[in-house]
Amino acid sequence: MLEWYNVNGRHHLPWRNTKDPYHILLAEFLLQQTHVRKVEKVYEQLLQKYYDVGELANAMVDDLVTIIAPIGLKYRAERLIKSAKIICSQYNGKVPNDYNELRKLPGIGDYIANAVLCYAFDQPVVPIDTNVIRLFTRYFGYTSNRPRPRMDKELASKIRAHFEGMDSTRVANLAVLDLAGLICTANKPQSKQCPLLAHCLDYLSRQFESHKY
């Protein structure tokens, strides 16, 4: 998978080429429930106008809403500004590098907190979203009884176990995201192009079913 990622990964994405915590935090806010290709232009516009946390803290909600309108979920504007204000007033303008402190910020849940720690601070954590869950459940045959598998701590523990021992999970996490986003898609996965094809339980079971009749 890492070999595949080196050649086929989305290395061009601007937030992939920085470890600036503010830039990463901004990108992760925008990427929530939004397709990656819609975010790039909005992300760059925001950074041009609000080049640091202090600028964002002083932003007008309506101005921010106008910029992020193309990707929807306008409530993010208010949360972004509130988070920026807290970072400035309580953390000296520096995005915190602690999970519990990040979770205190408006709009930051488990995924964004871990994403910031992983991509900005190189901490060996694993941000788990629906894309990550889809790849691991298909490949390993993991299941969840929860209506929302993202809330399944047992499943998350199984996934995270595969990353144990890594000094940094940054590249591995990005490889998983890109394989899930480009190949192991929710609908019509490009199985024939998948570098993990030979041992994927989902693919093998589908092949078995197709040959039963």
CB 120 within 8 A of CB 27: no
SS (H, E, C) 46-82: HHHHCCCHHHHHCCCHHHHHHHHHHHCCCHHHHHHHH
List the chain pLDDT tens, one digit each, 213 residues: 999 999 999 999 999 999 999 999 999 999 987 888 889 999 999 999 999 999 999 999 999 999 998 888 788 899 999 999 999 999 999 999 999 999 999 999 999 999 999 999 999 999 999 999 999 999 999 998 888 888 899 999 999 999 999 889 999 999 999 999 999 999 999 999 999 999 999 999 887 666 655
pLDDT digits (tens, 9 = 90+) for 74-97: 888 999 999 999 999 999 999 999
Tell me how far apart the alpha carbons of residues 68 and 57 are, in angstroms, rounded to a whole number: 16
